[in-house]
Amino acid sequence: MKPVLKFLERIEPDKKKSPFLHTLYDGFFTFLFAPDSVTSKGGVHVRDGMDLKRTMVMVVLAMQLCYLFGTYNIGHQHFAAIGEYTGFMEGFHLKLFHGLIKMLPIFIVAHVVGLGIEFWYAAKKGHPIEEGFLVTGALIPLLMPPDIPLWMLALAVAFAVIIGKEAFGGTGMNVLNVALLARVFIFFAYPGDISGDEVWISSITKEGLEHFASPYYHQSALDLHGWAHEFFDWIFGAMGLDTFSAIEVGKPVADGYTGATPLALAKSGGWPEVLSVYSESQMFWGAIPGSIGETCKPFILIGAAMLIAMGIASWRVMLSMFLGALLTGLIFNAAAGDAASYLAVPWWGHFYMGSFFFAMAFMATDPVTAASTNTGKWIYGFLIGVVGMIVRVLNPAYPEGWMLAILFMNVFAPLIDHYVLESNIKKRLSRA
């Protein structure tokens, strides 16, 4: 690596003459090489080979299984909706590449907009590029539906980065989780594009299912990605595989198909309604409609285990959030009178449906916006579990609760830490 290091050192732009180019250079350089400024060998400092950039990279790596499954599930849900290759592994190449065609633009737009804003602020302030958007940029695509309009995504990312982070001073200073702020912006500004049954299935038309509203929404996605289907058709045809052109582009959904998520079904008819459409195995393994990265529970739990093993995420927040949701679910079950009500959904059923595990592993554990004291982490996570379940079950307008619960508790995390510290100080003074 020494020749590469010497080459990069020779082409370093002048910081005063070209501050923006130097900012870009510095971000790329520190991505490849760890800084050589470390604490001295003497003294009591803890020395570690991990810096903030490498820590962020480890978090991104923990999400990669969610990316792989989410990409494939985009294709599977599309083909299941139109009645083609309905078996999960049937048409594997078509499903995978259809998912890539949908995922890559979302990933690219989120990073170009977010990193572009980060680079501009870093150049204007004269400091190195901050690493926080590595994780935020990886999280945002996993929180979105597959046909989210790209201009809307760009607007949400810009709002989240500028208002949610840069306005507070940049990485490490934000009060709210930036990735969740991008999602909540779309939810409140454009609710029809991130809620309902139709948004979770990519590239289908309104014909054949009346509640699949906004034909322009889906047709615009078809027009945007049609060239990519044609390109892969050329490759698949040369390999003797099935092609996209063998299936009608923009084909309407099959008779009797519903794009409803398990949460929407639970809201309308309780647990029996959910099981009439999806099996517990389907919900656990993730072959269901939903946000791109939230559906496959085993892969999410593997990512959570990686973060705990590397000491990046707090197991206290994860466990206490689980316990809070479990206890609230048991209370709801005890209060339920009708087996077909949302209150009667078994407590363990709530972990199969929706994004609980994804929120627990990658959102609630954000070290910047979560509580920092050990006791505070127990309180913080537990209250997220309680509030999230209350919003999910008792709020008629919103079938999921973790986004709002985490943002709500982000605001109270400093207050929780304050009272924990005050309590510790009083205990020590009483012993003095």
Chain segment 332-372, per-residue pLDDT in tens: 999 987 878 889 999 999 999 989 999 999 999 998 999 99
12-16, 135-139, 145-149: least confidently modelled range:
12-16
pLDDT at 334: 93
Residue 11 CB contacts under 8 Å (≥ 6 apart), including other chains: 25
Query: What's the one-letter identity of residue 152?
Result: M
* Cβ atoms of residues 274 and 266 within 8 Å: yes
pTM: 0.84
Q: Among residues of the chain, what percentage have pLDDT more than 70?
A: 80
pLDDT greater than 90 at residue 17: no
pLDDT at 42: 54
pLDDT greater than 70 at residue 45: no
Q: How far is it, in rounded angstroms, from Cα 4 to Cα 357?
A: 41
H/E run at residue 276: none
**What single DSSP character describes residue 11?**
T
Q: What is the pLDDT of residues 212-266, one digit of tens each?
A: 434 433 444 444 566 677 778 778 888 888 877 777 656 677 777 777 889 989 9
pLDDT greater than 80 at residue 203: no
Q: What is the pLDDT of residues 286-319, one digit of tens each?
A: 999 989 999 999 999 999 999 999 989 999 999 9
* Cβ atoms of residues 263 and 400 within 8 Å: yes
pLDDT at 226: 66
